[in-house]
Amino acid sequence: MKLKKKTALLASFTMGALLLATTALADIASKSGYEELKDAIKLTAERGSEAFDSFTLDFSMAMKDNGKTLMSGNETKKFDRKTGATESLSSNVNLNGYTNSSQTYSDTKTMIRVSESDPTYYVTEFSKEREIESFNNPFKEEEAADVEKIIDAIVGSLKDHVVITEKDDGSKEINGSLTEVQIPALVNAVASFQLKQEFNGNHNQSNMPKLVKDVFVKQVTGTAKVNKDGVLESILGIAVLSGKDEQGAIHEISVDALITVTDINSTTVTKPDLTGKKVVRHLERDYSGSEISNPEKYLGKFKNDILIEKDGKFVKIGERIIDITHIDTIKVTGQYHEEFKPGFEEYATNTSELSFSAEFIKDQRGNANFEYTTKSGVKGQGNIYFDDYQGKINFNGMNTSYEGGLMFDSTFSPDLD
């Protein structure tokens, strides 16, 4: 009897443990629809940035009030990872009912933009070939793993609402649907408040109804299609917000968003044909590098005027002239001298004629400290800065005392005459 009891207890405990262990293993092994969806998104992002040669992404969204379209937008983006070219076509109808559409093309050397409202093709040409990664994988960012954990925690038990159905051809459909009972009340409240603020914000003349009472999220549904390689083909999300306006009329505002990935490896990005079109070109200088581009353009003379103030007027008494004799990305040498008009020669000082030589400071674009030697052999130090943006030179350092009302000016413009 006693032994029997012990045996029974042991058996019962073992049974419980086994039940727990086997089910737990099964539970860990089984992938929820939510996990599958995450995997598909990650895989798609990874392939898009690393494996696919080309693909087309299509985004479209529409907002409707009781079935009447308030606004819509559509954007088609074509990526060619091999050439780095992308093309995007977008068309929108905004809340005020205005439509506009535009087209953008860009590759490593050019960017072309045209819109419906202004049929001019704006062409930007880059002085230096750009390094563009046509599609960045967001999951490679440093914070991605943490963000994912936070999202997992927020999604919480809603994960279980994601359902997966496998098709015969190996593709999968992932569905999720939440109605008002299923959305946690707190989430619903925060979301509806956010949306209400957003909608009622500053669209004074828009078609958007102003919701003032009983605002709540009525429904959220989502559908995603994953092809047999595990790549996301499309993802559709619909959210319905319900509320009453000042007159007490009920509005159901639905927002639909659809993203599709198509033409994997068969997308061709074509540069727009500009023949016969009105074209505005401009050269985009690259200001972002750590060295000035085409330094040889600075070879030659730069000058400014030497002014004094006399009898309440500015009077030009001569010119300061810099002559850059050598420049590359590392070094710059040249001469500086001042030429005075007859009658003002007495303004000349011992630094009125000197030669200088400088090395560019690393990672400080166009900035260099120089040493100079005057005609009489006195040495000194100064700073020169090549301003790519204005096309001018800043030249400083001769701590001359400008006596007799000489105006100080360190900016030199190119002497192109």
Residues that bind another protein (CB under 8 A): 1-2, 9, 12-13, 15-21, 23-24, 26-28, 30, 32, 35, 149, 152-153, 156-158, 160-161, 163, 175, 177, 179-182, 184-186, 188-189, 192-193, 196, 211-216, 242-243
Our CB check for another protein shows the closer of 240 and 398 to be 240
At residue 182, the 3 state secondary structure works out as coil
CB of 177 to another protein, least distance (A): 5
388, amino acid identity: D
Our CB check for another protein shows the closer of 35 and 58 to be 35
CB of 226 to another protein, least distance (A): 17
**Phi then psi dihedrals of residue 335, to 5 deg:** -125, 155
Our CB check for another protein shows the closer of 202 and 401 to be 202
**Residues 259 and 59: beta-carbon distance below 8 Å:** yes
Our CB check for another protein shows the closer of 146 and 417 to be 146
CB of 172 to another protein, least distance (A): 14
Our CB check for another protein shows the closer of 217 and 406 to be 217
d(CA 412, CA 390): 10
Q: Which two tokens stand for residue 37?
A: 């969806």
Q: Which two tokens stand for residue 173?
A: 């459909």
CB of 207 to another protein, least distance (A): 20
CB of 42 to another protein, least distance (A): 15
Residues whose CB is less than 8 angstroms from the CB of residue 292 and which lie 6 or more positions away in sequence, other chains included: 298, 329, 365, 366, 386, 388
CB of 86 to another protein, least distance (A): 36
d(CA 264, CA 24): 39
Our CB check for another protein shows the closer of 149 and 326 to be 149
d(CA 409, CA 398): 12
What is the rounded radius of gyration, in angstroms, for the C-alpha atoms of the chain? Answer: 35
CB of 190 to another protein, least distance (A): 9
**Residues 320 and 306: beta-carbon distance below 8 Å:** yes
d(CA 229, CA 116): 39
Our CB check for another protein shows the closer of 162 and 406 to be 162
